[in-house]
Amino acid sequence: MNHELSLRVIEYFGTDSRRIHHAMQVYGFAETILLAEGIVGKERQVIETAALIHDIGIPEAERKHGSSAGNYQELEGPPLARTILEGLSYPEEVINRVCFIIANHHSYTKIDGIDFRILVEADLIVNIYGNTMSRQAADTLISKHFVTAAGRRIAEGMYQGY
Ligand SMILES: [Fe+2]
């Protein structure tokens, strides 16, 4: 993982420590799941990068559209991510895949690979904790959207009796 990317993401969010904590938490869960899944190389780089940067469009979405709704984030995030990643000389194929995941990360029907899947599982693990939802709603999310063994193990273990 590129520490400079973490630092840029942290700096981009400025004093919005809630967003910074979110990015670092999603990164931590994504890293655990990808290691459990034996993922290496560029695919690992895509997941780590997407985990850190997936919500980068939120401040612009709020500024331009007055809303952090998923569709605005998905619109504003990819160009910003591209600028940051090009500045750090990331490989073009990694940038393209990360931008695709950011552009679709609230559209679960578009999940088309293990990299995208792990980002969504890690994001959900963090967001279920942050939301007030019923046990039943959490169970439905988990049974619908968790596919990897490690992601399911974390989510079921953590939210049993939620
Ligand atoms: Fe997120």
Mean pLDDT value of segment 135-151: 91
Q: Which two tokens stand for residue 60?
A: 């612009």
Mean pLDDT value of segment 143-160: 93
CA of 27 to the centre of ligand 1 (A): 10
Q: With beta carbons less than 8 A apart as the criterion, state whether 74 and 108 touch.
A: no
Q: Which CATH architecture has domain 3-159?
A: Orthogonal Bundle (1.10)
Mean pLDDT value of segment 25-33: 98
Q: What is the pLDDT of residue 15?
A: 96
DSSP helix/strand/coil, 56:
coil
Ion ligand 1 nearby residues (CB, 5 A): 55, 123
DSSP helix/strand/coil, 133:
coil
CA of 5 to the centre of ligand 1 (A): 16
CA of 40 to the centre of ligand 1 (A): 23
CA of 58 to the centre of ligand 1 (A): 10
pLDDT (tens digit per residue) in 40-72: 999 999 999 999 999 999 999 999 999 988 889
CA of 123 to the centre of ligand 1 (A): 5
